[in-house]
Chains A and B, each alone.
Chain A
Amino acid sequence: MDGSLDGLTNVSHGRVEIDVLASAPHVGLSSPEGDGEQNMLQTMTGRRFVGSACLLIFLCLGTGCSTYHFAHSVKLASYDEDISKGKAAGPVRGADCTWHVMGYPLGGEPRIDRAMANARTQSGEHFADDITQETDPNKAIRYINGMNTSWDGFNAVIFGKRCLVVKGAGYI
């Protein structure tokens, strides 16, 4: 489950429970008074069904579904205890990736800490078992403002790549 959180889970905030069957008349019970009444009953059944369906759709739209990310916009995420105002280094991006072959991952799930480490060194994408590069203290990012995460990659059936990407505005 580690690292599999971002953007994967959609959960509706409000719980919508409509018993469509309970609100519709019993179609199987035909009326003995003739076809006219039966047609009217069928029309009412159809209207109630459409009404219930519309209500369900509107309630779904009203309550909405949420996408959960690791980070959406963390104001300050620092690599150092010193968070005094630094020099802007522009946008930073780092990713941690895992290759998949025939649906099987080669290594562990992408992790946010590794993606952040790559964002600091601006070393692009790294894969789960890569050896981390040494960080040049003069070039290393000290903190990130507005940090957000997203998933990236591709799936070509036989093989695929899945990356957790960290982005933000870096400061030295």
Chain B
Amino acid sequence: MRNLKGPLAILGLLALVACGAERIPLATMPAVSMTERSVAAGTQGEEIGEVEGIYCQGDDPIVSDSKNIGMLDEAIMQAQKQSGADYITGAQFFREGDCVVVTGLGMRATAGSQPTPDDGVAAAGGAQ
């Protein structure tokens, strides 16, 4: 039995590493943003390249309060903060261990496509 401990430990470690590294798709959204609610009609954004944001449990949140943390919210905000994008198109969300990753094309609202002011409609049900 003692002879099996070494190989079992290595197998367990490999399984842990394999599980931790696996990217599980969560959702795909054509456009997401944590700073804009919409843009003015008939306008197009300026592409600023591929962006990626990651948020792991235990990291300091950027937009959420410390009690209720939205993993998607934080990943999106981090990608926007790093790239300076106003919104992200073709956003793909993955789960990677205790982290949520978002990848997509960063877009910046140009002079002709200023974001519209907040619509003032409260989200249904409020924040959880």
Candidates B40, B70, B95; contact of A85 at CB < 8 Å? B40
B residues in contact with A169, CB < 8 Å: 119, 121-124
B30 interfacial contact with A, CB 8 Å: yes
A93 to B127 alpha-carbon distance, docked (Å): 13
B6 interfacial contact with A, CB 8 Å: no
Q: Hey, what's the 0/1 contact readout for B88-100 against A, CB within 8 Å counting as 1?
A: 0110010100101
B110 interfacial contact with A, CB 8 Å: no
A residues in contact with B127, CB < 8 Å: 72-73, 146, 148
The reply to whether B95 and A84 contact each other, CB–CB distance below 8 Å, is no
The reply to whether A72 and B70 contact each other, CB–CB distance below 8 Å, is yes
Candidates A13, A69, A78, A92; contact of B30 at CB < 8 Å? A78
B residues in contact with A67, CB < 8 Å: 67-69
A20 to B36 alpha-carbon distance, docked (Å): 49
* Contact residues of A between 49 and 105, Cβ < 8 Å to B: 64-81, 83-86, 88, 90-93
The reply to whether B30 and A88 contact each other, CB–CB distance below 8 Å, is no
Q: How far is the CB of A147 from chain B (nearest CB, A)?
A: 7
> Which are the 4 A-B pairs with shortest beta-carbon distances?
A146-B123, A91-B124, A72-B70, A78-B31
Q: How far is the CB of B106 from chain A (nearest CB, A)?
A: 14
Q: A72, A116, A149, A169 — which one has the most chain B CB atoms within 10 A of its CB?
A: A72
The reply to whether A84 and B40 contact each other, CB–CB distance below 8 Å, is yes
